[in-house]
Structure formats: structure tokens, C-alpha cells
Chain A
């Protein structure tokens, strides 16, 4: 079992023929993801990677029955691409693009909400349900099918967590990278709720960081609704105040968005918080059979 995507997902790629789109589409096809086509305006009717190219997402959806889109479009055009997908019948939009202006995302967030569409990202590694469905750019080989749901704001730190979980003998139901931007389409709480409802997810790894309040919002919800063990690491205990640490979202503002404050609140809410990023896998292993 899994959340949001599985082997029945029919996926199109926006920004299909660019270098990023081409490389990662090849990787996704190799993993077994059902890539049914792609969109590059002006190249409709041609083929790429043995898949049809369409001029518009609407054309792609009506011809292929696609329900998921992954976006590799450059930042100035990415907001438009997300809204096009949302307006064309796509149900889950995964946006990999890094560097979308905040103002664009303010509008995009409202737009996808009004159309009842799930946006993952932007600035994220995507989503993976092993062993056949990867809609993203993460290294597939570290994953193994299993019962642990993984949600993370960071890409490579999520890989670290996945790798530890796999090496501990467990595997993943679904791994979802929500991205490091200040306005994510899917929040940590959204992902946690989906994992709590998923019958085959037995435990959850939640990788957070300094900045914002997404982790604590998830914590407060879990305090009264949580039914599964959750292991969490919050990156940035050593980060200086007021500086952006790579992710636009990772900036410490007030007192409550430091790593220490978040950890304390999460512990109060019954989350198993690890101080060392090396302890994620072994801690999860102890909590599930």
C-alpha cells in the first residue's frame, strides 16, 4: 500500500524534452513508472523516449488518461505549468523546479486548492512508492518496499533517512519530499495524515528543519490523533539566527522555529525525536516489529 501514487498512476512529464526532463524520465521509466507521455509546447505530435509529446496538458490528459504530472519547467514558467496541470484534470502535480518566486506560489497555492488538486513541492525530490513507482529524482536503489512512511523537507537528508531505514531491515510504503520552499503545496501535516490513514504504513519518519511551524503543527495534530510511532529529526540545531541556510524556508525567525523549540514541542506531543541524524533508522527499527 501507499499514499497518493502507486503502480496504477499514469504520469506525464511537463518540460519533457529538456535535459533534466529527459534524464529523469529515462530513470523513472527504468524503475517501472507508467510514463504515458509528455508536454512541450510546440512539439506536439512528435515522439520522445518512445512516448508521445503533446502541446498542452489538456491534450495529454484526453489522449492518455494521465492523472499525475511531474514538472521540470524552469522557474519563470513553473507556476504556469502547475496551474495548467491543475486546470486539465491532473489530480497529483509533482513540481521539482527550484527557485519559483514566492509571489507566484501564493497564487498557485490558491489555484490548486480551488481545483481540489494535490501539489507536491516545489523544490522537492518528488514521491516514490517502491518497488515500481518513482515520480521524482531520488536515487531509486536505496528504497525497498515496506511499511515505513517517510516525509521530508530536504532531499539528500531524506535519502539518508531512507537508506538508514532500508539498512535497518525495514522498507518504505511511500517516501514523499515536500520541498524546502516557504510555501509548499503539501505540508508535513498533510503527509502525516495520509500516512496515519494508510492501513499498510506502520511507522513514520518525519524529517524537518528550522524555520516555519510545519513540524509543530503536525506534532499538535498527532498528539490527539496519532496512532502510529513517529521518529523525527529536525536539522539546524547549529544554524545561526536570521540566516537562510540554503532552503528559502530554512530561516530562523522567532523563538518557536528553532530546532530546539521544535524538538521540545514534538517530544511533548509523543514524537520520538532523535538528536543525531545517524539514529533515524535504528530508532524506527526499535519501534516497529
Chain B
């Protein structure tokens, strides 16, 4: 589950990670009040106004601005709230901004040079261990750092039996060239983000940049925390932070029906049981000259109710010109699925696009007979290739 920056920071703070003073708001008026509160507690006379959407690269799209006066706070908050923010990660349609985070300015002058660092905690799948990854080149995309200066990326493996050890945190601080107070604060910071990763069942914590201020504080200037969906049952407080406004409404509806749906840009809708077979079905559609409109896994049971919900979701996409249903019956019987297709068809009323149903496995022949005898505009197939060829035929 993805979280907003302000939510991520509030979680990190609970684990002792230092963050800039900040308040999330929804109107320019609230932004002004927030700026005054922050000024009173920190003395900051500049503020950063940051759009809160689930996408990176917000600065490039005009979603992050530095206000030098209360008047500018009001102005910029007004400009950003309600705007459709387009960043390299949002796609061309962009994302509507509903909230901004007002934060103290951390770029104040002082005795030492401020600097930006990259740090993340994530799973090393190859070893099945957690790793800490960091680089003195913060504030830019880590992919770019990996390409240009791979020697500037460091990793620290965490032994699951004992967790992060103090010597590892010290090593991070030394490798980053920090001394004195900054070194001490970095050690604390590293312990904090690892504790947050472990304590919240995160699958990723990425802080870019970690900011070393001119008075040697170490702050999470930005924060991305992603929580493992499978672990949300033991973090109900975090689960409650889910922001449905940030998700595709069709995907939200699908998840409410226990369907796994991802919208794509093609013209052939597909409904499949099992994620691997669903991807394989998309692949064969493409190989046969079509273009998949979605990924949709109806799960192992593929009962009539799910099949109907699946059709309704696929049909919301106006680009869909044909639908391929591909079910490999194991425990689920194909005759039941076939009946589900027929029932769904009748319940929905007229479906304007042709449907191809490929049933294989338990009772496949019976299932095919039910489809063939239904009198509906539904084609049936037995092999995967046959099904893809039929899709191609109805499209041309």
C-alpha cells in the first residue's frame, strides 16, 4: 500500500526519525495558519509547499514551491491545491492535488555546508534479506546514480536473526563522510528508519533526500513508505490511511470484488484465473495481433458472481472491442464457469462486444457445450492458440 509523504513522515517520526516541522492542509487558509504555527515553533521564515499525491518527480511538475512570505504561502497553496499535477510518474493524464504539506525551510545558512543523501531500506529478493542502500549523491534519481557512478552506491545487508547492528549504522555514517554531531545524528537516523521498516511491515522505505542541515541535523526531507499489503491485518492504523482518491476507481471497485485488475491501453479485455496464466494470456493476445486492455485475475474460485463482476469492470473501459475469458479448470469446474458466463451475460443485458471463452481442464467439453448451446454471441475455444486466433478474427 502506498502512502502520502505526510503520512510516511508521521510514521517515521514515531520511530525516532527526525523530520522537518510540517502540517498537511487542504485549503490556502489552512496553509497560512500552518505556516504561522511552524514559524512560532521553529522560527522558520520560509516554507515549502508540497503537493501530496502518490507520484514522484513532483517538483518537476510544479508541485513543490518555496514561499518566502505568508502571502506567498497563500498564493502557492492556492495554485497547487486543485491543480492536475503531471510528473514523469503520473502519465499524461496527471493527478489531482487535494492536499499540500506545508513545511519549515531546512535550507537555512549555518556553520557547515548542507548536503543531500540517498537512503532506502528494502528486500533483497535474491537472498531473502533486508538491505539498507545509500549514497552520498542524494536528491536525484537513484537509477541515474546507479548508471553514472555505481561506486557511489553502498549497501548493508541486515542479518534477520539479529537485525541492524550499531557497527553497521556507524559504517553508513563514515562512508557518507560525516563527522561530529552529523555522524551521531546519522547513526540515530539509520536505526530509526530500520526500526520503522521492521515495525510497520514496510516493503520499501525510501528517503531521497536525507538532508544534512547547516547545523548538522539529519532530516528526512522527503519520504516514501510502502507497506506490504499482506501485513496490513496487523497494522489497522496504517490500513486506515489508504487514500482511495489516489487509486484508479475501476481498480478500487475490482479489489472490493476480490478481483485483481490492472488497466492497460489495448482493445482486448481479458478475464483469467491465476496471475501467471493471466499474463500469459495477455502475451498471446499481443503475439496474435491484438492488444490487451487489462490484466484481470478472477482468482482460483472463478464463481458466477466474480465472473459477472469481472465483465462489468472490463466493460467500463470504452476501448474494449472484444473479451477473452480464459479459465483453466482445476478445482473450479469449467461447466460451472460456463454457466456463470451465460448468467452474467443475461444479467448484464446486451453486451455489445464479442466474447470468446476458452475453457480447459475439469469438465471443459461440457463447459464448451453450455456456451455453444446458449444461443448467445459467445465463441468457445479449447486450446490457447484457438482462443487467440478467434480474438484476431473478431477484431479484423
Asked if A159 and B330 sit within 8 Å, CB to CB, the answer is yes
Chain B: interface size category: 35 or more
Asked if B277 and A157 sit within 8 Å, CB to CB, the answer is yes
Residue from A233, A247, A254 in contact with B275 in the complex, judged by beta carbons closer than 8 Å: A247
Asked if B275 and A246 sit within 8 Å, CB to CB, the answer is yes
Asked if B385 and A278 sit within 8 Å, CB to CB, the answer is yes
Distance between Cα atoms of A20 and B213 in the complex (Å): 56
- Give the residues in chain A near B125, CB-CB below 8 Å: 182-183, 212-213, 249
- Name the distance in Å between B203's Cβ and chain A's nearest Cβ: 6
Query: A106-B128, A110-B160, A246-B297 in contact; A180/B275 too (CB < 8 A)?
Result: yes
Asked if A139 and B331 sit within 8 Å, CB to CB, the answer is yes
Per the 8 Å Cβ criterion, residues 87-143 of A in contact with B are: 99-107, 109-110, 125, 137-139, 141-142
- Nearest B residue to A242, CB-CB: B89
Distance between Cα atoms of A278 and B262 in the complex (Å): 23
Asked if B279 and A276 sit within 8 Å, CB to CB, the answer is no
List the interface of chain A (C-beta within 8 A of B). Answer: 23, 75-76, 99-107, 109-110, 125, 137-139, 141-142, 152-160, 163, 180, 182-183, 207, 209-210, 212-213, 217, 233, 235-240, 243, 245-250, 254, 259, 275-278
- Name the distance in Å between B295's Cβ and chain A's nearest Cβ: 5
Asked if B230 and A248 sit within 8 Å, CB to CB, the answer is yes
Contact digits for B121-135, partner A, Cβ 8 Å, 1 yes 0 no: 001011011100000
Distance between Cα atoms of A182 and B122 in the complex (Å): 12
Asked if A107 and B160 sit within 8 Å, CB to CB, the answer is yes
B94-102, B280-288, B306-314, B370-378 - the one binding chain A: B280-288
Distance between Cα atoms of A183 and B275 in the complex (Å): 17
Could you say which of B230, B273, B278 has the most chain A C-beta atoms within 10 Å of its C-beta? B230
Across the A-B interface, give the 10 residue pairs with the lowest CB-CB distance, nearest first.
A154-B276, A246-B275, A156-B274, A157-B276, A101-B231, A139-B330, A235-B279, A277-B280, A156-B277, A278-B385
- Give the residues in chain B near A163, CB-CB below 8 Å: 328, 360-361
A-B contact count (CB 8 A): 162
List the interface of chain B (C-beta within 8 A of A). Answer: 123, 125-126, 128-130, 143, 160-161, 198, 201, 203, 228-231, 233-234, 260, 262, 264, 272-287, 292, 295, 297, 300, 328-331, 360-362, 383-385, 388
25 contacts between A and B (CB under 8 A): A102-B203, A102-B228, A102-B230, A156-B272, A157-B276, A157-B279, A159-B328, A160-B277, A180-B275, A182-B125, A207-B276, A209-B279, A210-B279, A236-B282, A238-B264, A238-B286, A243-B262, A246-B275, A248-B229, A250-B276, A275-B283, A275-B287, A276-B284, A277-B281, A277-B283
Q: Is the interface of B mostly helix, strand, loop or mixed?
A: mixed
Other A-B pairs, 16, CB within 8 Å; known A210-B279, A237-B283, A246-B274 = A75-B233, A101-B201, A101-B230, A103-B231, A106-B129, A139-B361, A139-B362, A141-B362, A142-B361, A153-B276, A156-B272, A156-B276, A157-B280, A233-B280, A238-B286, A275-B283
Residue from B128, B233, B278, B297 in contact with A105 in the complex, judged by beta carbons closer than 8 Å: B128
Asked if A239 and B279 sit within 8 Å, CB to CB, the answer is yes
Could you say which of B126, B128, B385 has the most chain A C-beta atoms within 10 Å of its C-beta? B128
Asked if A276 and B361 sit within 8 Å, CB to CB, the answer is no
Could you say which of A109, A141, A157 has the most chain B C-beta atoms within 10 Å of its C-beta? A157
Distance between Cα atoms of A276 and B384 in the complex (Å): 10
- Nearest A residue to B362, CB-CB: A139
Asked if B279 and A236 sit within 8 Å, CB to CB, the answer is yes
- Name the distance in Å between A278's Cβ and chain B's nearest Cβ: 4
- Give the residues in chain B near A159, CB-CB below 8 Å: 277, 328, 330, 361
Asked if B283 and A103 sit within 8 Å, CB to CB, the answer is no
Distance between Cα atoms of A246 and B294 in the complex (Å): 12
Residue from B126, B233, B277, B286 in contact with A154 in the complex, judged by beta carbons closer than 8 Å: B277
Asked if A209 and B283 sit within 8 Å, CB to CB, the answer is no
- Nearest A residue to B200, CB-CB: A103
Asked if B230 and A99 sit within 8 Å, CB to CB, the answer is yes
Distance between Cα atoms of A156 and B301 in the complex (Å): 12
Query: A212-B125, A276-B385, A278-B384 in contact; A239/B276 too (CB < 8 A)?
Result: no
Distance between Cα atoms of A209 and B277 in the complex (Å): 10
- Give the residues in chain A near B161, CB-CB below 8 Å: 110
Asked if A155 and B276 sit within 8 Å, CB to CB, the answer is yes
- Give the residues in chain B near A99, CB-CB below 8 Å: 230
- Name the distance in Å between A146's Cβ and chain B's nearest Cβ: 19
Asked if A245 and B279 sit within 8 Å, CB to CB, the answer is yes
Distance between Cα atoms of A180 and B129 in the complex (Å): 17
Asked if B276 and A76 sit within 8 Å, CB to CB, the answer is no
Asked if B388 and A278 sit within 8 Å, CB to CB, the answer is yes
- Give the residues in chain A near B230, CB-CB below 8 Å: 75, 99-102, 248
- Give the residues in chain B near A259, CB-CB below 8 Å: 283
- Name the distance in Å between B81's Cβ and chain A's nearest Cβ: 27
Query: A236-B283, A239-B295 in contact; A102/B277 too (CB < 8 A)?
Result: no
